[in-house]
Structure 1
Amino acid sequence: MTSPSVATVPDVRLVPSALTSWAVTAAGIVWGASAAVVVAVAAVLVAALISWRWRMTWPTVLAVAAVGVAFAAAVGLRVDDAAHHPIATRYGGTAAVVVTPSESPRVLRGMRMMFRANLVSVDGHPTTGRVVVFASGVDYQDVSAGRPAAFRAGVSRPTRRDLSVAVLTATGTPRWGSASLLQRAAADVRARFAEAARSVLPGDQAAMLPALVLGDTSALGEDVVDEFRAAGLTHLTAVSGANVTIVCGTVLVTAGLVGPRIAVALAAIALIAFVVVVQPSASVLRAAVMGSIALFAVLSKRRRQAIPALSACVLVLLVAAPQLAVDVGFALSVSATAALVIVAPRWARRLTDRGWPQPLAAAVSVAAAAHLVTAPLVAGMSGTFSMVSILANLVVAAVISPITVIGTAAAVLTVPWPAAAELMIRFTGPALWWLTHVASWAAAIPGAVVTTPSGWPGVVTVAAAGVAVVALWGRTWGRVTVVGAAVCLVAWTVGAA
């Protein structure tokens, strides 16, 4: 019979292979095939050293070696294909292209937009490849995932190493094709939902609701985006694993009425429908996978099985879409999910043992763990660190689930029963008011945002600070030191502003 202590030991056998696949793929994309081989060899040596030092099983080392060789070969082929793509001969010129957008556009400053797409043809010649398109926000406002667009564009070399083959700057008016029936239906739901929100909610709330429910940020003003970034709440305006967990979890509560098997089937249907309506871009599929893992861990309370599932999903996703290895969103999703299933439960138990109410302990642990592991990546990406993120996320935590559940239900009803959808949307008003005002208040706090180095220096600096905070927090003098350092940092930031 297995003892409770043994049963709760995390199963990390797949973790070395997942980390190896990630590191090898990222190195190959950024520095080339030779770097991928070097990283693969280094991973095998590290795995062998750990196996010898801590008596790990040698099959784990062999698995790391096999994964390293396979992913190094695969990424080498992908990088070579991207480097020798036929469109490379048109860098610096123009071409007539047909592309199929793979995601909703992102609105940029100056009435511009950007979206990722897959090539269909170049100057009439069929081809494939990932491209980044910059276009006028006026002429290309009808862009949607799956709807082909033909236009002339300036062709330039990719600015990022992510297996893209070109950057296209669209010129003129596009000619639109037709998306699939399913994609057109999903676009109709999104449009009707946004219209219903505008008809019953004030302007800022009407723009926020589609962002929170469907990840549609096209109507958000620049000031709102800046406030949410400063408050550490930007993740709420992007479809994440939390959205998936809330939607599927709401369906699974019916298990007591219809039985667990039917409830799981309904949750699967709800997940598929949600992904289709939101648009099945790489980021949404990633969120669906990571959210499903988090939901599995929460419902089953079997953290031992959640870690192998997360590792397996990393392997599968990198096989299907190797460009995710250098995608910040992928790193944020994986790290946040790992924190929720590994770190947060331990911290919650410690707080509960010290007399904290269980719901409060869980909320604080989740917010702190997620912020701890994602802050280095955010710092590297934006050069900022939010000092109010944990507090802001705790204050708005209670309203996120109602907004997501009611908003998703309203989105489902917008086509068959618009009046009911509008009535449900009205009930999200108070929660949306609270969320937007918390973001505004938090962003206005002196020292809410601390400037950090960007890029790798920012990642290393914030990560080192996070490790130091965790190491010191267990001692009374350590907590005093951390709080004192935080006060000094805020004071210095306010004084320099």
Structure 2
Amino acid sequence: MLIRLVIAWLLGIVVADILTPSLVLMGSIAGCALLCVGLLHRQPNLRLMALLALVGSLGGLRYQTAIPPPGADHVAMLIGRGEQTMIGWVAADPRRSDDGQRLVLQVEAVRVGNEARRAQGLVQLTVAPYPAYRYGQRLLVTGTLQQPRLAERPGSFDYRAYLAHRGIFAILNQPAKLTVLEGDAGLPPLRMLLQFREHCRQLMIRMLPEPQAAIGVGILLGIQSSIPDETYTTFSVTGTSHILVVSGWNFTIVATLLAGVATRLRLGRGSSLGLALSVMWIYAFFTGASAAVLRAAVMASLAAIGRAADREREPWHLLAGGCGLLTIADPHALWDVGFQLSALATASLFAFARPIEQRLSRHRPFRWAVFAPISEAFTATMAAQVLTLPLILYQFGNLSLVAPLANILLVPIVPYAMAACTLALLAGLIWLPLGQLLGPLAWLPVAWLTEGARVLAMPAWAATQIPPFPLWIMLGYYGLILAGWRRRLSSVP
């Protein structure tokens, strides 16, 4: 029942993105009417259909209320009106690269002459790499607002829609003037957490050489902005760029570690659950709290609660619960590509890992005990590709031909790299020379990742670019996969 309700909720969100707000409101009223009629009917199927219709209409209504259209005092109304002076604060952790920084400015007021007029809304700023800005800083910005660009052709990436799902309707590239004002805004706990993360990043840079330091920062802290473009390209070509982001696997490692700590300390069930939830959610916000990270944190939290209550549900219910809760909080997260890939990879592992493992176990060398780690990595790679590869090809067009081999050689090393980087970082927080002394311990597994990706990406045939294809082809593929999977399930005795 939970899975059906979540699917209805997600479909309602998708339909609401297509319809106008008035039609969504009418659909919500119709859903309530259907529920009333269904409850009075004796047939369970009709009652279920009425309930699903209501949940779908509520999903659409939640979507429409998540980011209301710009009002009269919205900063987007100033687009095309020449140079503007705005007062606001940095509302998200800046995204840095060698070329510059991207800031999300929460506008509070606009200066007109010598007076400040109230305004609201978000503006994305693109500024120079230095000086570095941080979450919560108050800024005075002068420049000309623009609309984000539209898709160049139907089916291609629509930057305007991408930002609109984040509540951003105006951008400002290279402001004419940018001044830091006194005082801070935002959530003080989040400010402190992000400042501590930046301190950890600086320590990692001082303990490891490049590009290993940047890779270690990406794996452990979730910061990819400092990874050199050349190094990031090698991971993309080899189909292992998922190593560089914080995902559900990171939370699995954290949960396993916490379970061991709780056992050692002989903590009770309630204390163990409180420790696990606290650490995992601090880690989620510590690493940036993206849609994929929050999904992984929600799923890990549901699993921990299930274990504590002796009611651990099957993985499909955890996935559905995680996606449902996350889209209740922010229905626009459904359009985040990272969230889509994370959810599809998880579903693909649930559906296809066991069948692939059973097939491989019938053949040498996969049935040999010594090949168990390789077999596990290969199985996970191939299973995840079933549902994620079409989306990757549709969004990016990059087909890695060395991805299976690269994942076999690199993915099993990630837990050791995380553990070694964590140990070196903790030592560096206590005393920097001690962290630098343990730096080589972390350098070894991270160097395996960077050099392995570089070597595997060297052949000209390592990856190929797929021409753009229409959306219906990808949806048709998923339809065929779903039909085949359901048929296989129905044939299992």
Secondary structure in 2 matching 1:239? coil
CA distance in 2, matches of 1:462, 1:392: 29
- Please say if 1:99 is aligned against 2:104: no
Structure 2 CA distance for partners of 1:280 and 1:304, relative to 1, 3 Å: closer
The 5 Å alignment of 1:87-236 reads: 87-92=75-80, 93=82, 94-107=84-97, 111-123=99-111, 124-139=116-131, 141-142=132-133, 144-158=134-148, 159-160=160-161, 161-162=164-165, 163-171=167-175, 172-175=177-180, 177-178=183-184, 181-236=188-243
Secondary structure in 1 matching 2:226? coil
Q: Name whichever of 399-408 and 276-285 sits farther off.
A: 276-285
- Please say if 1:325 is aligned against 2:334: yes
Q: Could you say which residue in structure 2 is the equivalent of 1:487?
A: none
Q: Which runs of 5+ in 2 are unaligned?
A: 33-42, 149-159, 489-493
Question: Which residue identity does 1:173 align to in structure 2?
Answer: L
Question: Which residue identity does 1:63 align to in structure 2?
Answer: L
CA distance in 1, matches of 2:376, 2:29: 41
Secondary structure in 1 matching 2:392? helix
Alpha-carbon offset, residue 213 of structure 1:
0.8
Alpha-carbon offset, residue 461 of structure 1:
8.7
How many percent of aligned residue pairs carry the same amino acid? Answer: 22
Question: Which residue identity does 1:332 align to in structure 2?
Answer: L
Q: Name whichever of 64-73 and 279-288 sits farther off.
A: 279-288
CA distance in 2, matches of 1:130, 1:202: 37
CA distance in 2, matches of 1:302, 1:353: 34
Question: Would you say the 8 A contact 1:407–1:428 is kept in 2?
Answer: yes
TM-score normalised according to structure 1 size = 0.76
CA offsets per residue over residues 186-237 of structure 1, 9 Å max, x none?
Answer: 3443333333333332221122211111121232211112111111122222
Q: Which runs of 5+ in 1 are unaligned?
A: 1-12, 45-54, 475-497
Secondary structure in 1 matching 2:332? helix
CA offsets per residue over residues 257-291 of structure 1, 9 Å max, x none?
Answer: 23462444332232133234323455543342245
Q: Name whichever of 204-213 and 459-468 sits farther off.
A: 459-468
CA distance in 2, matches of 1:58, 1:455: 39
Alpha-carbon offset, residue 23 of structure 1:
3.2
The 5 Å alignment of 1:353-432 reads: 356=367, 357=369, 359-432=373-446
Question: Which residue identity does 2:168 align to in structure 1?
Answer: S
Q: Could you say which residue in structure 1 is the equivalent of 2:454?
A: 440
Match 2:57 to one of 54, 69, 80: 69
Question: Would you say the 8 A contact 1:20–1:43 is kept in 2?
Answer: no
CA offsets per residue over residues 406-460 of structure 1, 9 Å max, x none?
Answer: 3234444543443443344331111111100111122123322121234744972
Question: Which residue identity does 1:347 align to in structure 2?
Answer: I
Question: Would you say the 8 A contact 1:193–1:410 is kept in 2?
Answer: no
Question: Which residue identity does 1:403 align to in structure 2?
Answer: A
The CA RMSD measured in Å over matched residues stands at 3.8
Alpha-carbon offset, residue 340 of structure 1:
3.0
Q: Could you say which residue in structure 1 is the equivalent of 2:40?
A: none
Structure 2 CA distance for partners of 1:199 and 1:369, relative to 1, 3 Å: same
Q: Could you say which residue in structure 2 is the equivalent of 1:5?
A: none
Question: Would you say the 8 A contact 2:273–2:305 is kept in 1?
Answer: no
Q: Could you say which residue in structure 2 is the equivalent of 1:22?
A: 10
Question: Which residue identity does 2:294 align to in structure 1?
Answer: L
Q: Could you say which residue in structure 2 is the equivalent of 1:242?
A: 249
Q: Name whichever of 265-274 and 437-446 sits farther off.
A: 265-274
Question: Which residue identity does 1:196 align to in structure 2?
Answer: L
TM-score normalised according to structure 2 size = 0.77
Question: Which residue identity does 1:71 align to in structure 2?
Answer: G
Question: Would you say the 8 A contact 2:239–2:406 is kept in 1?
Answer: yes
Structure 2 CA distance for partners of 1:422 and 1:32, relative to 1, 3 Å: farther
CA offsets per residue over residues 304-339 of structure 1, 9 Å max, x none?
Answer: 532223212222211211221211112112112222
Alpha-carbon offset, residue 133 of structure 1:
2.7
CA distance in 2, matches of 1:204, 1:195: 14
CA distance in 2, matches of 1:229, 1:40: 43
Structure 2 CA distance for partners of 1:277 and 1:306, relative to 1, 3 Å: same
Secondary structure in 2 matching 1:152? strand
Hey, which of these two has a bigger chunk of helix by percent? 1
CA distance in 2, matches of 1:441, 1:465: 37
Q: Name whichever of 452-461 and 410-419 sits farther off.
A: 452-461
Alpha-carbon offset, residue 128 of structure 1:
4.5
